[in-house]
């Protein structure tokens, strides 16, 4: 069966509620482990069915945000998901309090209990209405961005359609493309500010109702973090400032010399080379076919996986009018299918999708036989290790996609380093915002600009909105997934470790990686790192060693190939 034939049926929420109540009773009144276990198995089926329909509706809604049917279905899930949370939580509570804990831990491991504990800290029925408001606000943000129709170069383009101009060789084109993007955000400045302010207020209200001082601690629990807290993260950001910002400065200094632009402006930063950034070859179908060749050569497992994706048409790759922005990978347990969504625009980003999102899809494909739905995906910072490391593992095949393969690899590696200061900027901003929810819209923008100056001294703006601190409107995570963004940076520094290991010993590095993919979400972040023989990024020194190696790699790179 192909994706287009996957049948959508709106879940019957009243039935699900009844079933969950019944199963909760069964667990509470069980006189044997078998009874508890049977109830859990039934719950897994309900969860899989509901989750699959929610994913299917969401995929089809993002593929065409103007399709009224799936828009309604998306609204349906926005409303019922928080309602059902109470029933799922009661069931989890019953598992948590079961007198058969010993047998349960033996069968399912202890992680589920730690997760339930964290989960219990994030929900009370009193917050249902607020959660619904929160969902609607994030959907509103997505729609506002997707509504963009920007006139440029004689065309009418959605936001992702501008990316190629932002990397154009002609400085004037880059500058006017940045202006065009900023004009859209400036025109809607009040709306973006308002949506965000309402989000901050509703999240703060939720936190207070749950007994927290503000949203920060709750935000960590909502991310399912059981291993680390905001203090450890603050210390990690400090290390980025110390060890990565100087290297990022050096990377832009080299770029400035290479491109003969002595006064680098924000719109110059993505022009890595004077002769333009390497662009991928071929049509979307050709790129997918090359990816298939690549994954067959990389390993038996990745070959099988990619054939499955192609056979079931589990991709929607091209940018289209009305399509939501960005890219993601999701999973539908009912059909055991990952799905990859993106907006191809003929930049190197297209190939990042075929490696990054495919890395996510490969991991979920590897762990799809997990005994519990919670064990399929790990927490987000661990998820991104699979995807970002896949970007590095596929370096030997980049010649299939690019003529200027050295330029591609150098740009990819250096981008992965300069990304880190940006990632911690997004994170620190949110800590400031949620610690002081009473800040005004202008104070928030000023705070963003101040943090940005600290971590990215090389960002020099000519645009008024950006100079006032308005860059973050475009960073969807700030709106929809608070405190998520740091996870990308944590994963990135782990992926850098895989890059170094891959150079030293490919077989060993791949074994560790495949092992990590198969573990899925059965362990926590720090436990997974141990299993994969990766260093803990919260520990002093782990960053120093990797960054030194990367700096040497940059120093030794034959720069005559970078024109």
Q: Cβ of residue 165: shortest distance to Zn ion, in angstroms?
A: 25
Binding window for Zn ion (CB under 5 A); candidates: 132-140, 149-157, 385-393, 404-412: 385-393
Does an H or E element contain 513, and which?
helix 506-519
Query: Would you say 98 or 355 has its CB closer to Zn ion?
Result: 355
* Alpha-carbon gap, residue 150 to 317, rounded angstroms: 21
Q: Is 379 in the site for Zn ion (CB under 5 A)?
A: no
Query: Which is nearest to 348 in space by CA: 293, 396, 276?
Result: 276
Query: Would you say 53 or 317 has its CB closer to Zn ion?
Result: 317
226 DSSP β-pair partners: none
Binding window for Zn ion (CB under 5 A); candidates: 18-26, 75-83, 380-388, 448-456: 380-388
Query: Would you say 131 or 314 has its CB closer to Zn ion?
Result: 314
DSSP β-ladder status, 315-318 and 337-344: parallel
Binding window for Zn ion (CB under 5 A); candidates: 36-44, 134-142, 332-340, 383-391: 383-391
Q: Cβ of residue 356: shortest distance to Zn ion, in angstroms?
A: 6
Query: Would you say 62 or 387 has its CB closer to Zn ion?
Result: 387
**Read out DSSP for 127-144?**
GHHHHHHHHHHHHHHHHH
Q: Token digits for 519?
A: 């573990």
User: Buried (b) or exposed (e) across 101-125, using 16+ Cβ within 10 A?
Assistant: eeebeeebeebbbebbebbebbbee
Q: Is 387 in the site for Zn ion (CB under 5 A)?
A: yes
Q: How many helices (H) and strands (E) does the chain have?
A: 25, 5
> In angstroms, how far is the first alpha carbon of the chain from the final one?
47
Query: Would you say 397 or 485 has its CB closer to Zn ion?
Result: 485
Q: Cβ of residue 521: shortest distance to Zn ion, in angstroms?
A: 15
DSSP state of 343: E
DSSP state of 242: I
Q: Cβ of residue 388: shortest distance to Zn ion, in angstroms?
A: 7
Q: Cβ of residue 473: shortest distance to Zn ion, in angstroms?
A: 21
Total residues interacting with Zn ion, rule: CB under 5 A: 1
Query: Would you say 333 or 359 has its CB closer to Zn ion?
Result: 359
* Alpha-carbon gap, residue 462 to 452, rounded angstroms: 15
Q: Cβ of residue 328: shortest distance to Zn ion, in angstroms?
A: 8
Length of the chain: 563
Query: Would you say 61 or 387 has its CB closer to Zn ion?
Result: 387
Query: Would you say 448 or 484 has its CB closer to Zn ion?
Result: 484
Report CA Rg, the chain: 23
Q: Token digits for 378?
A: 């790990």
Binding window for Zn ion (CB under 5 A); candidates: 94-102, 235-243, 379-387, 496-504: 379-387
Binding window for Zn ion (CB under 5 A); candidates: 31-39, 272-280, 382-390, 476-484: 382-390
User: In degrees rounded to 5, what are phi and psi of residue 329?
Assistant: -125, 135
Q: Cβ of residue 490: shortest distance to Zn ion, in angstroms?
A: 12
Q: Cβ of residue 352: shortest distance to Zn ion, in angstroms?
A: 10
Q: Cβ of residue 488: shortest distance to Zn ion, in angstroms?
A: 7
Query: Would you say 73 or 352 has its CB closer to Zn ion?
Result: 352
Q: Is 355 in the site for Zn ion (CB under 5 A)?
A: no
Q: Token digits for 111?
A: 């992680």
Residues in the site for Zn ion, rule: CB under 5 A?
387
């Amino acid at each position: 069966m192909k994706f287009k034939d996957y049948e959508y049926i709106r879940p019957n929420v009243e039935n699900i509620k009844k079933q969950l109540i019944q199963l909760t009773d069964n667990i509470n009144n069980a006189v044997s482990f078998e009874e508890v276990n049977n109830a859990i198995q039934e719950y897994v089926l309900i969860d899989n069915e509901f989750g699959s329909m929610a994913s299917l509706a969401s995929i089809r809604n993002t593929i065409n945000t103007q399709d009224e049917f799936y828009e309604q279905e998306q609204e349906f899930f926005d409303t019922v998901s928080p309602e059902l949370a109470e029933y799922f939580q009661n069931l989890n509570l019953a598992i948590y309090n079961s007198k058969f804990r010993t047998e349960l831990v033996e069968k399912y491991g202890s992680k589920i209990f730690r997760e339930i504990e964290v989960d219990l800290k994030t929900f009370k029925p009193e917050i249902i209405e607020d959660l619904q408001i929160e969902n609607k606000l994030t959907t509103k943000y997505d729609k506002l961005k997707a509504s963009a129709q920007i006139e440029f170069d004689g065309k009418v383009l959605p936001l992702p359609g501008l990316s190629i101009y932002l990397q154009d060789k002609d400085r004037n084109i880059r500058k006017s493309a940045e202006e065009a993007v900023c004009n859209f955000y400036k025109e809607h400045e009040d709306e973006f500010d308002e949506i965000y302010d309402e989000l901050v207020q509703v999240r703060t209200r939720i936190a207070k109702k749950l007994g927290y001082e503000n949203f920060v601690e709750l935000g960590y629990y909502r991310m399912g973090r059981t291993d680390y807290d905001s203090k450890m993260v603050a210390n990690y950001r400090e290390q980025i400032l110390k060890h990565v910002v100087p290297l990022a400065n050096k990377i832009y200094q080299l770029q400035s010399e290479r491109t003969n632009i002595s006064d680098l402006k924000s719109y110059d930063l993505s022009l890595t080379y004077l002769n333009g950034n390497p662009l991928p070859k071929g049509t979307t179908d050709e790129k997918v076919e090359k990816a298939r060749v690549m994954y067959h050569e990389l390993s038996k497992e990745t070959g099988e996986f990619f054939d499955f994706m192609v056979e079931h048409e589990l991709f929607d790759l091209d940018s289209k009018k009305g399509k939501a922005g960005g890219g993601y990978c999701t999973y539908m347990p009912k059909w055991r299918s990952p799905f990859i969504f993106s907006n191809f625009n003929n930049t190197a980003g297209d190939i990042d999708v075929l490696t990054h999102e495919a890395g996510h899809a490969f991991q979920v494909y590897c762990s799809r036989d997990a005994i519990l739905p919670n064990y399929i995906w790990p927490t987000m910072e661990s998820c991104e290790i699979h995807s970002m490391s896949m970007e590095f593992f596929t370096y030997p095949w980049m010649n299939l996609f690019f003529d200027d393969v050295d330029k591609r690899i150098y740009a990819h590696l250096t981008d992965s380093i300069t990304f880190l200061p940006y990632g911690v900027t997004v994170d620190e901003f949110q800590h400031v915002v949620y610690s002081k929810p009473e800040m005004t819209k202008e104070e928030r923008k000023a705070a963003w600009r101040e943090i940005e100056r600290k971590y990215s001294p090389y960002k020099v703006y000519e645009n008024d909105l950006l100079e006032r601190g308005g860059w973050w409107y475009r960073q969807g995570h700030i709106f929809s997934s608070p405190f998520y963004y740091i996870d990308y940076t944590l994963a990135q520094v782990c992926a850098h470790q895989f890059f170094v290991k891959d150079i030293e010993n490919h077989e060993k590095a791949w074994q560790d990686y495949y092992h990590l993919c198969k573990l899925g979400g059965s362990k926590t972040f720090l436990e997974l790192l141990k299993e994969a023989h990766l260093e803990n990024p919260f520990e002093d020194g782990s960053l120093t060693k990797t960054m030194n190696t990367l700096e040497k790699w940059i120093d030794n790179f034959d720069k005559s190939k970078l024109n």
